[in-house]
Chains A and B, each alone.
Chain A
Amino acid sequence: MGSEADALLSPLADSIASAVNLLKLRRFEKSNAETAKSLKENLLQQPISSRRRRSDEDIFSGLSLLRSRESTPDQVYGALAEFDEIPVAASEILAAGWLYRLSAFEAVLVRTFPEAGRNADLRVYGKYVEKTDGMLQKSLELAAVHAEVLRRLAPAC
Chain B
Amino acid sequence: MLLSDIEIAKRLVDPKSDRKLVVTPIISAKEQFGPSSLDVRLSTDFQRLENMNRSHIDLDERPRADEKVYREGKRIILSADGKFFLHPGEFVLASTLEFFRLPDDLAGRIEGRSSWGRHGLLVHATAGFVDPGFAGVLTFELSNAGRLPIMLRPGLRIGQVCFFQMSEPSLIPYHAKHLAKYFEATTLETSKADFDPEVSGTTPQAEKARSTLKIR
Q: A: which residues have CB within 8 A of B? A: 45-47, 49-50, 56-57, 59-60, 63-64, 66, 68, 76-77, 79-85, 87, 123-124, 127, 131, 134-135, 137-138, 141-142, 144-150, 152-153
Contacts and interface: CB of A to CB of B under 8 A. Distances in A.
A47 B9 contact: no
Given A137-B187, A145-B97, A149-B41, 17 more contacts: A47-B99, A49-B24, A50-B24, A50-B25, A56-B13, A56-B15, A59-B9, A80-B9, A83-B29, A84-B27, A87-B25, A124-B215, A137-B186, A146-B27, A147-B80, A148-B154, A149-B27
A145 B22 contact: no
A145 B13 contact: no
A83 B26 contact: yes
A64 B41 CA distance: 28
Interface in B40-74: 41, 43-44
Nearest to A128: B215
A138 B45 CA distance: 11
Given A127-B216, A142-B25, A144-B80, A149 B9 contact: no
A153 B30 CA distance: 12
Contact of A63 (B6, B44, B81, B184): B6
A134 to B, nearest CB: 4
Please report whether the interface of chain A is mostly helix, strand, loop or mixed according to DSSP: helix
Interface string B100-131: 01000000000000000000000000000000
A84 B97 contact: no
8 contacts: A47-B24, A85-B26, A123-B212, A123-B215, A124-B215, A138-B137, A142-B97, A145-B80
Given A56-B15, A85-B27, A76 B5 contact: yes
B109 to A, nearest CB: 21
Contacts, number: 106
A-B pairs with lowest CB-CB distance, top 8: A138-B186, A56-B13, A134-B186, A148-B80, A144-B80, A149-B155, A83-B29, A80-B29
B33 A80 contact: yes
B10 interface: yes
Contacts of B28: 84, 149, 153
A49 B27 CA distance: 11
B12 interface: yes
A42 B144 CA distance: 37
A87 to B, nearest CB: 7
Contacts of A60: 10, 13-15
The interface centre, meaning the residue of B12, B43, B137, B215 with most chain A CB atoms within 10 A of its CB, is B215
Nearest to A49: B25
A59 B104 CA distance: 23
Given A83-B26, A134-B186, A134-B187, A66 B6 contact: yes
Interface string B1-42: 000011001101111000000101111111001000000010
A84 B29 contact: yes
A147 B154 CA distance: 11
B154 A145 contact: yes
A81 B30 contact: yes
A145 B26 contact: no
Contact of B43 (A56, A68, A145): A145
